[in-house]
Amino acid sequence: MNLDPTKMKDWQIAEAAEETLKPAAALAAELGLKAGEWTPYGDVLAKIDVTKVLRRVGAGRRGKYIDVTAITPTALGEGKTTTTLGLVEGLGRLGKKVIGCVRQPSGGPTFNIKGSAAGGGLAQVVPLTALSLGLTGDIDAITNANNLAMVALNSRMQHERNHDDAWLAERGLKRLDIDPERIQFRWAMDFCAQGLRNIEIGKGGKLDGFTCSSGFYITVASEVMAILAMSADLADLRKRLSKIIVAYSRSGEPVTTADLEVDGAMCALLVNAIKPTLMQSIEGQPMLVHAGPFANIAIGQNSVVADRLACALGDYVVTESGFASDMGYEKFWNIKCRCSGLKPDAVVLVATVRALKAHGGAPAVKAGLPLDPVYTTENLELLEKGCDNLLAHIDIIRRSGVQPVVCLNAFYTDTQAERDLVRRVAERAGATFAVSDHWLKGGEGALELANAVVAACERPNAFTYLCDLDEPLSARVEKQVKAVYGGDGVDWEPLAKEKIAAFEADPETAKLPVCIAKTQYSLSHDPKLLGRPRGWRLPVKDVLVYKGAGLIVPVAGEIKLMPGTSASPAYRRIDVDVETGKVKGLF
């Protein structure tokens, strides 16, 4: 099969590759799965019951564990998922039993700017259409579970307003006295719908719900998604769902999904979603797809259950963290690894000449608009200046006790002099360096990277967490800003200051990990501050508590939990061939 990424679009490559996909049964056999441990979804997809598999093989770790992260991206992204797939394919070419673990694409970016998180060129997860358009229904299930909690909340508020305590008691209910000004939960939708960020609901008569302010966030920013990513199994998922704080009473007591008696029904909607989906790379390596993206506003990791399963079955496991190392890798390092008990053997830091030039002062990269010629012609001065951002991310990973493998995700417009410059910068900083041409050549183009990662996995590291959870929450946020982001400190706005003090006063909440929500386009809170900004402070305007997921979420700058749709969204180019029923235009 002659597939040329320079002449074909990603969806065309994926469509051609689908002709040679392995059946799901073949993939399951390669992984050593037994009957009853997996369920087919058509011919090439399957769901895996992790609990059954680990009960048989044991949850002990076998495989080398590798995380893929990146430098600060441009609006187009820098091919982190593509590199993850390329590394999986490269390790496969070396004869390694490798399993990849990636997140399910959100409908938001799929139909907006970035497109599907399927990789690209000859390094993709396939089938692309299934992956991009709902897959086996996990995100739909999360949306429904989230919104069921909101239905329960609004219904309860309506009935408590309309009826007395005796009426409630006849129905086995006690008055929760929910404060309409302290509703913590929102509705969910898996599109970028900025018009739904802030809404009023319950308009009409007394039977039309409780009138109050509300809003939507994108589904992947829902606490329910974070819970799916963090849960160890179905029992843990059920327990976590019951702890979600949806509101507070007028006396200040938390109102949970358990108080609303909706937690069990939410779990019922997620019974299938806790099982990772088995897919494959273009070159036939098994891929586990589970949980969702958006490390800027969410946990941004594929699931703990997928990684634990892969580590029990494979010799090498490649997982991916969303956005750059200050966002995705930091959350992998200090949140996910604590939760899973897994520690990385190697960390790959993806960089591109394009992004480094942007950090060096080149004209902004804007989605939907042509690139400035500086990005496709040699400019060593801009590139060298932009390498300050690369050095910042090397330092972040090194702070975790791991020396990174810097991977230059090759673009065919890069010059040899540009590649050599990035190599010199990375190696002077003590990092291993590899160029990977997986987009153009698949696993063959990733052999240099694969060999570098295999060598890195054999070197001992001193992986350790940034903070002790016994340290005060505010001190941990401060340390993260200074040690990871490179800022001078934190400025707490009044609401955030009040909330963080209250959380620190609660012994259980005070020990939760911190998951900061901020822009992905800068090490700071300001997307305009590129490179390695210095002399700034992080403004925190709010602090959320996700008791089910077990997270404290400081919200910094102007970050939104519901992204907006651009003027040139991907949906303008997606269509269907009505003769064959095949989807075209996905990327």
Residue-range domains of the chain with CATH? 10-137+273-458 (3.40.50.300), 138-262 (3.30.1510.10), 473-556 (3.10.410.10)
Cα of first residue to Cα of last residue in the chain, in angstroms, is 20
Cα separation, 545 vs 513, whole angstroms: 10
Residues with catalytic annotation? 80, 82, 103, 114, 295, 323, 411, 439
Q: For the packed helices 80-93 and 447-458, what is the interaxial angle rounded to 10 degrees?
A: 80
pLDDT of residue 353: 97
**Tokens coding 560:** 């939104």
Q: Residues of 62-71 as b/e, b for ≥16 C-beta within 10 angstroms?
A: ebbbbbbbbb
pLDDT of residue 295: 56
Question: Which residue from 406, 511, 398, 405 is spatially nearest to 463, judged by alpha carbons?
Answer: 398
Please report, for residues 101, 221, 358, 367, the alpha-carbon distance to residue 334 in angstroms, rounded to integers and kept in the order given. 19, 19, 29, 32
**Tokens coding 529:** 């501050």
pLDDT of residue 382: 96
Cα separation, 212 vs 191, whole angstroms: 23
SS3 readout for 478-510: HHHHHHHHCCCCEEECHHHHHHHHHHHHCCCHH
Other CB atoms closer than 10 Å to residue 373's CB: what's the count? 10
Q: For each successive 10 residues of the chain (587 residues), what is the average pLDDT?
A: 83 88 96 96 96 88 91 88 96 97 88 81 92 93 98 97 96 96 96 94 92 94 94 96 97 97 98 97 96 73 94 96 93 95 97 96 86 93 97 98 97 95 97 96 97 97 96 97 97 96 95 93 95 97 94 88 86 90 86
Cα separation, 402 vs 385, whole angstroms: 25
pTM: 0.94
CA angle 246, 248, 252 (to 5 degrees): 155
pLDDT of residue 140: 96
pLDDT of residue 2: 77
DSSP string, 64-75: EEEEEEES---T
Q: What are phi and psi of 273, to 5 degrees?
A: -70, -20
Cα separation, 414 vs 351, whole angstroms: 12
Other CB atoms closer than 10 Å to residue 511's CB: what's the count? 14
Residues pairing with 41 in the sheet: 45
Q: Is the peptide bond before 363 cis (omega within 30 degrees of 0)?
A: no
